[in-house]
Chains A and B, each alone.
Chain A
Amino acid sequence: DAGVIQSPRHEVTEMGQEVTLRCKPISGHNSLFWYRQTMMRGLELLIYFNNNVPIDDSGMPEDRFSAKMPNASFSTLKIQPSEPRDSAVYFCASRIEVFLASETEAFFGQGTRLTVV
């Protein structure tokens, strides 16, 4: 398996533009996570899905951020409109979650480095 695939790897956009980040989880994984990493705040969980359903979106900073998972093999994180303070590395991760099973590893993509100017 190729692992978690994120695109694009780098994105530079102007303030006010819409940005869409994409993620393809590992096949067979039923949980998907979006994280944001900045120097100031470290790693923050934005949202996670289980079986394509958003379970916890309390980390989504504001209404400008939205995430979807239309099927088990694809998710998007959208920022509209983007602002300079959204500049960060955005990671997608996936894992298999099995009820009452022992802990399974979360696999991370290589991230999308977003710069909003």
Chain B
Amino acid sequence: GDSVTQMEGPVTLSEEAFLTINCTYTATGYPSLFWYVQYPGEGLQLLLKATKADDKGSNKGFEATYRKETTSFHLEKGSVQVSDSAVYFCALKGRASGSRLTFGEGTQLTVNP
């Protein structure tokens, strides 16, 4: 079945550092890929998405590129801020899975000033 694997956290960075959170997936065919962010005490919010190979999703300085050859969708940001501290979830929606989203385990990011 479909699955998503994220790099283990927690991740702690200093402000303005470069961020990479790795995400790889297993799915049949060509799934859609997503990154969601969860700020403390809140529900998940869609951060960015990509629906086909080589698409790049971007939002709020974050980027992720859909790499079919490596089945990856790594999240990157060139310069993180304290306000980026949150839990980040990689997710996929398979073509045959209806509306079901399969989430990774989540990666806790803490950015220190």
Contact = CB atoms under 8 A, between A and B. Distances in A.
Contacts of A95: 99
Contacts, number: 49
Interface residue tally of chain B, by bracket? 20 to 34
Contacts of A50: 98-99
A57 B98 CA distance: 13
B interface, over-half SS: loop
Interface in A69-88: none
A72 to B, nearest CB: 15
Contacts of A31: 99
A97 B51 contact: no
A37 B26 CA distance: 22
A91 B99 CA distance: 16
Interface of A: 4, 31, 33, 42-43, 45, 48, 50, 55-56, 91, 93, 95, 97, 102-103, 105-106, 108-111
Given A42-B106, A111-B43, 11 more contacts: A42-B104, A45-B101, A45-B102, A48-B98, A55-B98, A93-B44, A102-B51, A103-B49, A105-B49, A108-B45, A110-B42
